[in-house]
Structure 1
């Protein structure tokens, strides 16, 4: 996954310092981050194909509180959907990174 940013240096620092993701330096400050376990789903659409990226967590309220303590800005209230709880955090570049607590069985821990 690659995030394209209008302020890549600030967004890299945010992912490193605020989200706390482990990383390696691929050279010249190009940080590559280890992501938490991930899943992929394929949904039907009648519109143009698109892709979405969400950071998943087990306890969205705890993650939001922890990020707020680190100075992160949440972009809205947590919304409750039948399948999960959602919000987003604002990156320094101004873009949003969605956060998601699934309320359905998850696949990321399957062998």
Structure 2
């Protein structure tokens, strides 16, 4: 099993056709005893949360978010955790909106902190 996501920040590698998050969105993860949760924002996302579980290197969670147009939306996601050649972590995601039509796949990768940077606490 790969290491805990607790305190790590992830960013999408691009934008899925039916999605709203993009390279400007940042996810700050927390993890404890098989439970995972994150806050995210940036780009078109004003505020988002996800909550779920981790079994081995697979995460399953629900997400809910508010976009810049003032619309709320939510859905379900299953993500597989892997390690990139440079040592950072990566999540390959398969998601489905539950509040509207649409589904897709996306990838988020760990963002390493810049020197002397502190992580946001959402």
Pick the TM interval, shorter chain: 0.3 to 0.5
- Larger RCO (alpha carbons 8 Å, 6+ apart): 1
Q: TM-score, length-normalised on structure 2?
A: 0.32
Structure (1/2) with the larger strand percentage: 2
TM-score normalised according to structure 1 size: 0.34
Greater share of helix: 1
